[in-house]
Every structure is written in C-alpha cells, then in structure tokens.
Amino acid sequence: MNGTDFAEWSRKAADWGVAYRASLRDRPVRAQTAPGEIAARLPMQPPQTGEDMDAIFADFENIILPGMTHWQHPRFFAYFPANAAPVSVVAEYLVTAMAAQCMLWQTSPAATELETRVLDWLRQAIGLPEGFAGVIQDSASSATLSAVLVMRERALDWNGNKAGLSGNPQLRIYSSDQVHTSIDRAIWVSGIGENNLVRIPARGALRGMDCDALEAAIVKDMEAGYVPAGIIACTGGTSTGACDDIADVVRIARRHGLYVHVDAAWAGSAMICEEFRHLWAGVQEADSVVFNPHKWLGAQFDCSAHFIRNPADLVRTLAIQPEYLKTHGRDGIINYSEWTVPLGRRFRALKLWFLLRFHGLDGLRTMIRNHVDWSAKLCERLRAGDNFEIVTEPAFSLFSFRHLGAKDLDAHNLALVNAINDDGRIYLTQTRVDGQVAIRFQAGQFEMTESDVDTAFDVISEVAARMPNAG
C-alpha cells in the first residue's frame, strides 16, 4: 500500500466509523447470528496472493459486521460499558499510525512523561492523596495480578520469584464472594492456588464482605500455619455493584501486616464525583487501587489506571533489566515496563490526554450523574410496574430485578432476558443473587440519552407481558 492508497483508505475508514456510529440506534444491539455462521463464510485456507482493498472492505461489511455486538450502541445495558468516546477514537488513530513501542523512557520519552502526568490528573480527579503513583495497565485483570504478585513476594520476604513456591508455607489471599473472576485468575497465575483464595461472605445492603468473618478467617489461618498475604476488596462489584467497607478492611489488614488491593474497575470512574466517594471511604489507606477509564469514563479499550502507594515494591516484583533494556546516562527516569507484566506497551496515555482535555472533568461528571439518575428512575418505574420485583437496589447506575408470575422464576427470567436480547432493541445480562436468577441493568454508554432508558422500560415491559405465564 503506497502513500496515496494509505491516505485514501484512512479517510474511508474514518468516514465509515462516523457513519457506523450514527447508525447504531437502527441496529440490533447484540449480534443476531447463529454459532458458526460467520466462520462458514470464511475460506478455510489463507490467501496466497494479495487481494484488492475494495474486496476486503466489502467482505468486512458483509461478513464481519453482521456478527458484531455493538458495544458503542446507546442501548447497551449489559455487563459494563466498554466506552470509546469519539475524541478517544481520534487519539487512537494517531497512536495506531505512529505504532510506537513505549516500553522504556528512551523508546518514546513523550509517552512515558505524558503517562506520568495524566495518571496524576486522574489521581487528583478521584480524590486519592499525593503519594500514590499511577501506571496504565491493559486491564484490571493485569493490575490485580500485579498486586497479587506483590502480595506473594512481600509475604515470602521477596524470595518467591527466585526460589519458587515449593517448600514455602502456603499463602492465603482474602476477598469477598462478590469479586470479579479476574481475582481467581490472578490467584492461578501467581501460583498461589485456588484453594488458598478465601472467600468471605457478603452482608448488608451494600453486599460488602463481613469484616468480622474476615478477621476470624485470618486468625484461624495463622493458627493453622498458613501465611496470610493480602486482601482484595471491591467497590462496585460486577454482579450487583457490591461495595466493601474499605476502611474496616484496611484496619484489619494493618493489624496483621497484609497488603490491600482495591478493585474498582467499573465504579472507580464515578469517584470523579465527590458525592459517591463515601462508597469507598478509607481507600486512601489501601496499598493499590485499580479502575478502568475504558469502562465508564470513555477511553477507548484498553486503558486501566493502576495506582500504587509504594511503586518500589511493584518494581522489585516485576522489573528485569538485561543490558539491552538499560537506559544509560539518565538517572531518575521511569520505565513503565518495569511496572507491568508485559514488556511491550502501547501509547495508551494519549487517548486519556485527549479525552480529559476535550470533555473536562465537569463534562464527564455530568455524564456519570445522568446515568446514575436515569438508572434510578428506571428502577422506580419497574418497581411500580406489573409483576416486577427489585432484587438489588441501585449501586451507582446498576440494579437488578426479577419478573414474577411464573412457578419457576429462574427459568422464567432466563427466558425473559433471552427474549429481550432477541428483540434487539436493548441488551441486558443476568446474574444470580443469593442463588436465584436476576436480570442486571446498568446505564453507562457514553452517548446514551434518557430516551434510551425509556426505550429500555418499554422493551422490558412489552416482552415480559408476552411471556408464557406472565401476569
């Protein structure tokens, strides 16, 4: 592809992206294809000779696009959002065009120095005190894995990487039963083992971990010869928005010398609004915190903000410095590849810089406050509606509900959420609360409006009324 072709197709791709975003309300939110349908239209063998871009682009539109679920759809109410504000997309064009490898300061000084500054902007925005330093990870999963590795090394007197886990005492990590499955994976990959992740039951309206049970579990493990290493707390858990009492968790951790990591992957973005910060009171005393600007804040995936009280511990755990990765003649610089599991790093800070400058914190706060308000209004409309039960009250912009009127409520509500998604106008997902199926609703797509939430009410009510045994 020569320069002229590159320019032409770059413009076509950008124009396509604008038209695509404008057309989303006319598309079903979730892909409507059957399993294997897309694969059946793809050749079994790779091409031996090059093909014309017109043909490739036509196949993209005709074969690939019908099999895509539209995560930027304004009526995407499932999971959590994976937002890509248009200004962030523009920044990603530039990142992709430059294709810089930003693993070290010397491989792109601007990428390192912008990351340092923009992460400090975010630190201030969410109310973390000075002393926390930030790094951009690809996802909260990687940030949590990094935190678990630090817990492991601290508990083993920094000998785990060198000697391995064999022959060392068994470590214990503690979390509530509401945390994301990324915690399980971190325990697996770190070598600590699933049997050593101690799940603490949730209690109360916020479904936070029972801190009395947490301390009792720690004491019991110490008496049994285990070595407690750390606690993973959550703010805004994936299932229902559960929030642990961070202040109590930290107090217990300090009594026993444990590291505390706070997973606020979704809800951390809401902390740019001061009125929500009571839901993670005590976070300033944690050892590390993660939230994903690529969820609710609008940054193109992937972009996870990981804040660490003592970066030296993280670097001591992860840094490897062969001669070819050393930066000679420069003191006091940061090489962020020493703060992350992967060596290679994309220029993720640029989209945050564009996003924060274009929208400002006030614009982003207005968006988040609207989502919380609109979600609460929908909750009340469903509560007042026929045969709906609110299972968990709104946590930020997330609540769960159940439709009544059938003997087998679990089967009925699974059938309902599937029927809603087959309808195509909105997209929801289910969860289990105290063992029973509930349907989740979360408002968080960057460009949604209140009318999109009104559509959600109409769809939920209409489809529920058509269900067998309804009413």
pLDDT digits (tens, 9 = 90+) for 192-241: 888 899 999 888 778 888 999 999 999 999 999 999 999 999 999 888 88
Read off the CATH number of the domain in which 301 is found.
3.40.640.10
Any domain includes 253: yes
- Dump pLDDT digits (tens) for 54-86: 999 999 999 999 999 999 999 999 989 899 999
Residue, of 117 and 405, whose pLDDT is higher: 117
3-state secondary structure of 33: coil
Query: What is the 8-class DSSP label of residue 63?
Result: I
- Is residue 285 predicted with pLDDT exceeding 80? yes
Of 3-7, 200-204, 426-430, give the lowest mean pLDDT range. Answer: 200-204
**Residue 29: inside a domain:** no
Domain that holds residue 179: 101-346
Residue 329 pLDDT > 50:
no
Task: Tell me the pLDDT band of 49, cut-offs 50, 70 and 90.
Answer: very high
DSSP state letters, 280-307 = GTTGGGSSEEEE-IIIII-PPSS-EEEE
Residue 471 in this model has a pLDDT that exceeds 80: no
Domain count, the chain: 1
Percent pLDDT > 90 in the chain is 71
Side by side, the strands of the sheet bearing 388-395 are 388-395, 398-403, 436-442, 429-433
What pLDDT is recorded for position 323? 46
Burial of 247 (0-12, 13-18, 19+ CB in 10 A): middle
Average pLDDT value over all residues in the chain: 91
Element (H, E) at 232: strand 227-234
pLDDT grade for 405, boundaries at 50, 70 and 90: confident
pLDDT at res. 258: 97
pLDDT of residue 180: 67
Looking at the predicted structure, is the pLDDT value of residue 324 above 50? no
Report the pLDDT averaged over residues 307-336.
Answer: 73
Q: What is the mean pLDDT of residues 101-129?
A: 90
Residues with Cβ < 8 Å from 159, sequence gap 6 or more? 153, 168
pLDDT at 156 over 80: yes
How far apart are the C-alpha atoms of 120 and 135, rounded to whole Å? Answer: 9
Cα 418 from Cα 429, distance rounded (Å): 9
Q: Is residue 460 part of a domain?
A: no
Residue 160 confidence (pLDDT): 87
Q: Phi, psi at residue 389, to the nearest 5°?
A: -125, 130
Distance, CA of 19 to CA of 265 (rounded, Å): 31
Structure tokens at 228: 């407690």
Residue 328's pLDDT band (boundaries 50, 70, 90)?
very low
- Check whether 167 has a pLDDT greater than 70: yes
The SS3 call for residue 331 is coil
Q: Is residue 54 included in any domain, yes or no?
A: no
Report which of residues 296 and 385 the model is more confident about. 296
Residue 322 has pLDDT above 60, yes or no: no
| Residues 171, 226 contacting (CB under 8 angstroms) | yes
Give me the long-range contacts of 336-340 (CB less than 8 A, separation at least 24): 336/102, 336/103, 336/112, 336/115, 336/135, 336/136, 337/103, 337/104, 339/135, 339/146, 339/306, 339/308, 339/311, 339/314, 339/315, 340/135, 340/137, 340/142, 340/146
Residue 129 within a domain: yes
**What pLDDT, in 10s, does the model give residues 288-314?**
999 999 999 999 998 999 999 998 899
Per-residue model confidence (pLDDT) at position 445: 95
For the residues 259-286, what does the mean pLDDT come to?
96
User: What is the rounded CA–CA span in Å between residue 33 and residue 68?
Assistant: 9
Q: In the predicted model, is pLDDT for residue 165 greater than 90?
A: no
Asked if the structure places residue 249 within a domain, the reply is: yes
The per-residue pLDDT for 185 is: 86
96 falls within a domain = no
- Tokens 């087959």 belong to 422
> How much is the pLDDT for 326?
53
* Beta-strand runs (E) in 53-176: 133-137, 171-176
Asked if the structure places residue 235 within a domain, the reply is yes
0.85 exceeded by the pTM? Answer: yes
Residue 298, φ and ψ in degrees, nearest 5: 110, 0
Pairing state between β 304-308 and 133-137: antiparallel
> What's the CA angle centered on 265, arms 260 and 271, to 5 degrees?
90
